[in-house]
Each structure stands twice: as structure tokens, then as C-alpha cells.
Amino acid sequence: MMKDNFYISQQLAQMIVDASKEVIGKDINFIKLDGEIIASTDPKRIGSFHEAAIQVKEKRAIVEVTEDDTFIGAKKGINYPIMMDQEMLGVIGISGDPEECKSLGFLLTKMTEVLIKEQMIVGKVHSLDELRSSVVRKLIFENQIKDASMKEHLHQLQIELEKTAFVGIIQLHGLNDPTSLPVNMHDILLKHGIKLFSYFFPNQYAIMINETQYRTIIQTIEAYFRSMEINCTIGIGSVCVWEELSTSYQHAKLALKHALSKEILIGEYAKLELEMIMENIDPSIRSDYTSKLIGELSKDEITLLHTYYKNNLSLKETAAELFIHKNTLQYRLEKIAEKTKVNPRDYHDSVKLYVALILQTL
């Protein structure tokens, strides 16, 4: 029977499409029955209307899209109804050649069903491991900190809540089956005093920790994972009140994405840098901006600017590092200003150029 008042939140839907893409390798969309895309591996599509999903709802059947824009807001691909106990909960679609996508449809729908069922049964727990997973999922996907049974569950897990906490995500690499995990994450986490965690298919663990443990936990885990040569990347979310841990989870995903792009072990949202923000700018916008601003510059001019910014806009230090005279540097900066119509020696213009240089390296 369908759990009373069960609904698929945006956070849960995004977790489903992210996990599905990890296995299937194609862009996935999760669409409400009113046609709104609430989660997608293509961020530009979130919030847009998907007419093919309406067709799926009306027909209660699979709908193929053979050409882009055959339906409003729909790209080539296949869209499937998500059914639970004869009730349609939404629509999930694969973008790509319909013929190629057909072979992936069964896998996608079964994965979706499993992930939804996991969330639907979080209240039915039979062991401490199931209980800790249930608590984590309720906090991330349903914001149920004030649930009547939550205090009892936390007491069973011997967890004392502080006012604030944070979420972390550990992503293990090269894995798509929890039974093949080369490390026992369950025991590792408990060994390091982490009592709230949940496995997320196919290769992630979400952890929740009190704020006072923030720095100690990060340093301990980092040292342990390095010493054991565990192949993983970790994203640490923002510190917030327990009622807002779903936000910390989103921030942990952003920090994880940054750490993956930089090939570092741990990314922290608390150390949010300009680069991390700009990584989430649409690639086409990045390309347009850099092309417009510095597209006409030579490699030597780009190198000069990088050196100029590294030396905090100091003409003396930049000239010394480049082994050129200060007057020569000034002349070359003037030439850059002529080409870009942006003056690197003017503070506001300089910021524009600096942003362009960062976007070019992402």
C-alpha cells in the first residue's frame, strides 16, 4: 500500500536522477505530473515545462520523442511513468536517441522504483542500521526533525543533538554495486564516531555530524582515508540548524562537485571560493563571456595577466617575474586594454578580466 501523504521532493528527485546517470551515463529528467521538470542532470532544464510528460500521464504509457521539440520542452528520448501500487507518482525520462535509450529503460525504471521504495519505508525499521538510514533520509528529503518519533530514534542511536550540524557526502570511485565495495564504510564510519549515515546508490554515503565535531572529523577522516589509500572524494556542506539539513546536503553536493573537478580529497562549502561559484555557471555563458573579453588575446598576453594577478597587480613584482622592464609591462598592459576594451590597471575592469581568466580554466 502507498504510504499516506507520500510525495517526491525535489531533493529526492535530484538524488534519483544523479544516481541514475552514474549508472546509465545519459541525462535524466524527473518530471511532475503537471509537466514541470523538478530534477535533471542538465541544470538548465529544471523548472521548465515538458509536454511529453503530460502525454505519459494521459496515456499511462511510455512516450518516445523522436525529434527535439516534437513536444514543447521535450528533447529526443523516452519518457516512462513511475508507478507505485497502481498510482502514478511522476515521469522519468532519458535524453538521447530513442533506439539507444530503449535498452536502458527497464534499468532506469527499476532503479527509480527501488530508490523511491527505500524512501517510502523509512518508517519501517528493524535494526539500528536501518534506523540510522531512516533518520538521515527523513532529515535530508523530508525535513522531519520535529517528527514525533525522531527523538526516540535518536535516543536509540545514542545521538545527542546540538543546535547545529552539517552533512557530508563521501563518494567512492569506480563502483556501481554496494556488494562490491572494497572497503567496509559502515565500520569505518562507526569507528570514527559517525553514528548518522546512509548509503545512497550507487556509490555515495551521506553522513550527519554535530558542529562541534566539524574540524576534528574532517582531519581524522582525511588522515585515515589517505593512509588507507581509499579512493574517494568528500564534499562537506554548510553548518546549519537541524531543520535545514536538506540545505546542508545541497551544499555538500556543490562542495563535492568542486572537489571532483579539482581532484582533491575534500571540498568544504565553508571555504566557498569564486571558482566554486563559477563552476555552476552555464558552460555556454562561460564560453561567451571569456570569448568576448579575452578571446583576442595571445597566449603570452594571457600568461602576463595570470602573472599580474598572482602578484596582486604589482607592476614591479610582475615585471621581475617575467624578466621584463616595468615600462615594457605597462606598454603590454595598454595593448591588452586596447584589444579587450577593458583596462587591467583599473580596479573594476581588472575584476572583469580576472573573472574571465578563471572561467577559461574551468
- Asked whether residue 152 falls in the same domain as residue 104, the answer is no
Amino acid 54 reads: I
Give the number of domains in the chain: 3
Q: Residue 221 contacts by C-beta under 8 Å, 6 or more apart in sequence?
A: 192, 234, 266
- Band (pLDDT 50/70/90 cuts) for residue 131 is confident
Q: Is residue 5 part of a domain?
A: no
- Asked whether residue 78 falls in the same domain as residue 193, the answer is no
Counting residues of the chain whose pLDDT is more than 70, the rounded percentage is 91
**Cell numbers describing residue 205:** 554515503
Q: Give the separation between CA 80 and CA 30, rounded to whole angstroms.
A: 10
- Asked whether residue 240 falls in the same domain as residue 357, the answer is no
pLDDT of residue 232: 92
- Asked whether residue 270 falls in the same domain as residue 288, the answer is no
- Asked whether residue 266 falls in the same domain as residue 318, the answer is no
**Of the residues 69, 99, 120, the one at which a domain ends:** 120
Quick check: 72 and 49 in contact, CB under 8 A?
yes
- Asked whether residue 115 falls in the same domain as residue 38, the answer is yes
State the Rg of the chain over Cα: 24
Question: Quick check: 200 pLDDT over 60?
Answer: yes
Q: Is residue 3 part of a domain?
A: no
Helix (H) or strand (E) holding 217: helix 214-228
Supply the CATH number for residue 329's domain.
Answer: 1.10.10.2840
pLDDT of residue 257: 87
**pLDDT per position as a tens digit, 19-64:** 899 888 899 999 999 999 999 999 889 999 999 999 999 999 999 9
Quick check: 357 and 306 in contact, CB under 8 A?
yes
- Band (pLDDT 50/70/90 cuts) for residue 146 is low
**Of the residues 277, 306, 326, the one at which a domain ends:** 277
Torsion, Cα 187 189 194 198, to 10 degrees, reads -90
Burial class (CB in 10 A: 0-12, 13-18, 19+), 360: middle
pLDDT of residue 206: 95
**pLDDT per position as a tens digit, 299-328:** 999 999 999 999 999 999 999 999 999 999
- Asked whether residue 89 falls in the same domain as residue 192, the answer is no
Domain range for 290 is: 283-361
pLDDT of residue 126: 56
Confidence (pTM): 0.65
- Average pLDDT over the chain reads 87
**pLDDT per position as a tens digit, 70-113:** 899 999 999 999 988 788 999 999 999 988 888 898 889 988 88
- Asked whether residue 248 falls in the same domain as residue 328, the answer is no
- Asked whether residue 157 falls in the same domain as residue 71, the answer is no
